[in-house]
Amino acid sequence: MTISFSKIALPKAGAMVLLVGKDGALPPLGRKADEASSGQLGKAMKVTGFAGKQNEFVDLPAPTGLAVSRVVIAGIGEPGELGEFEAERLGGSLAAKLLDGADSSAVIVAETVADLKIAPEILAARLASGVRLRDYRFDKYVTRKKNGDPKLKSVTVQAAAPARAQSAFRGLDAVANGVHLARDLVNEPANILFPAEFAKRAQGLSKLGVRVEVLAPKQLEKLGMNALLGVGHGSDHESRVVVMQWSGGRSGSKPLAFIGKGVTFDTGGISIKPAASMGDMKGDMGGAACVVGLMHALAARKAKVNAVGVIGLAENMPDAAAQRPGDIVTSMSGQTIEVLNTDAEGRLVLADILWYAQKRFKPEFMINLATLTGAILVALGQEYAGMFANNDELADGLFAAGSATGEKVWRMPLAPEYDKMIDTPNADMKNIGNGRNAGAITAAQFLQRFVNDFPWAHLDIAGTAMNSPKSPINPSWGSGYGVRLLNQLVVDRYEK
């Protein structure tokens, strides 16, 4: 779908969308359209009891006196409550309605009669961003599509200052593309997206000016990444680590480090998972997908920041070469780990790449993302990601960015009492806690042992990155969670 911007005028074809607040007053172009249709718009609003509430719509097909095939009147609620996030979600809701229709083109008139708390050009840009985020399908393997492709091919957002709206949309469009990339990666089946293929797709970021390195097993062995390599011992697909660097900030300034778990399929290994829902484990690389999507977004919008993304890619399979419960491995840090459960593998992957990132890049901070524990689903469901942090400023920034984007995080505790739960007499630590209690916390405590004094946050996204709740801007099984969150953090706190 193409998205463009133009001045406000009655369209000559396709669908037209008008925005109306709780006062029920049509915007200037809406009044003009109402007059041309001999009052049909006003009558439709009255007959349906339209009150201008958010996500309330009147759909009027083929109004006489107008060249358009359809008029959609969309409620925006109290205009003073319509912020950037709400406008984006409204754009997604409108896209859902328009994509279900028969029109090949549509015009959204970003015009209201009341003052908003956001500028008109931002309203237009955010509506367009919502459309872009909603316009996503993963059906590349469906050979017989029931309803065919959507007929809607173009959306024009009309604004008083279309050039300014276009400028405001440019960065949002880059972020939406990053979200779509992350969704594609999560949605791909594991027979297609194994570690080497994932790494190959990450290399595509080089077209945007990202420097991409792929570390193969021999390099990982030389670095001492035995914790990560152990996860992939049972697979025919060799493990990889991908390092992505975007240098958009001042030369010599510390990079921001984003680190992702990329287990392309997780059977649990020898500690094998139950068969039910195991197919969902194609999404156990949601953290790595987010990091790739974020690096795309930063590079595509030419973010004025230095950033590095490091992802660890492995497939956790059971065979004669797979690591066993009770094995002890030596991580890149030199710390030893007793692997008592091979299904607690994501923390082993992250242990080595967290250490690698800090030693090589000495970053401003490290944020890792991982579909790490089922325990975080028990604690928070699918509405919030679990956030663990050793730095209040970083945690506050993530919380604020989550509130602004709707990709919400909730801070969870770290404490010495939990840390003791991963002690073992046989090695420096074990990879699980004591029983089922505090499973998400003990996983975070494990990761913290590989962080040292760097500002760090761990986001457990098991409930938000895959099989995620549908929303006006997300129709997908793989949500692309984290791309918008982390981009917002960079914009708000670190970009200069």
DSSP for 333-400 reads: TS-EEEES-TT--HHHHHHHHHHHHHHHH--SEEEEEE---THHHHHHTTTSEEEEES-HHHHHHHHH
Q: Which residues are catalytic?
A: 273, 347
427: DSSP letter: B
Strand pairing category for 327-330 and 409-411: unpaired
Q: Kindly list the distances between the CA atom of residue 384 and the CA atoms of 270, 344, 414, 471, in Å, as whole numbers in the listed order.
A: 31, 22, 18, 14
Asked whether the CA dihedral 359, 287, 404, 125 is positive or negative, the reply is positive
Residue 280: closest CA among 462, 23, 406, 402? 462
- Which structure tokens are listed for 145? 């599509």
Q: CA–CA separation, 455 vs 69, rounded Å?
A: 55
DSSP state of 25: P
- Alpha-carbon gap, residue 302 to 310, rounded angstroms: 19
Nearest to 62 by CA among 132, 18, 15, 8: 15
User: Which residue is associated with the tokens 């718009």?
Assistant: 41
Separation CA 396–CA 299 (nearest Å): 25
Q: Which of 429, 486, 417 is nearest to 457 (CA)?
A: 486
- With b for 16 or more beta-carbon neighbours within 10 A and e for fewer, the 342-360 pattern comes to bbbbbbbbbbbbbbbbbee
Q: Give dist(CA 204, CA 212) in Å, integer.
A: 9
Q: How far is CA 321 from CA 63, 120, 262, 318, in A?
A: 69, 61, 20, 8
CA distance 171 to 298: 9
Residue pair 181/286 in contact (Cβ under 8 Å)? The answer is no
End-to-end CA distance of the chain: 32
Q: Which two tokens stand for residue 168?
A: 């405001």
Residue matched to tokens 């999507």: 293
Q: Tell me how crowded residue 419 is: count the other CB atoms within 10 A of its CB.
A: 18
Q: How far apart are CA 449 and CA 335, in angstroms?
A: 9
Element (H, E) at 185: helix 162-187
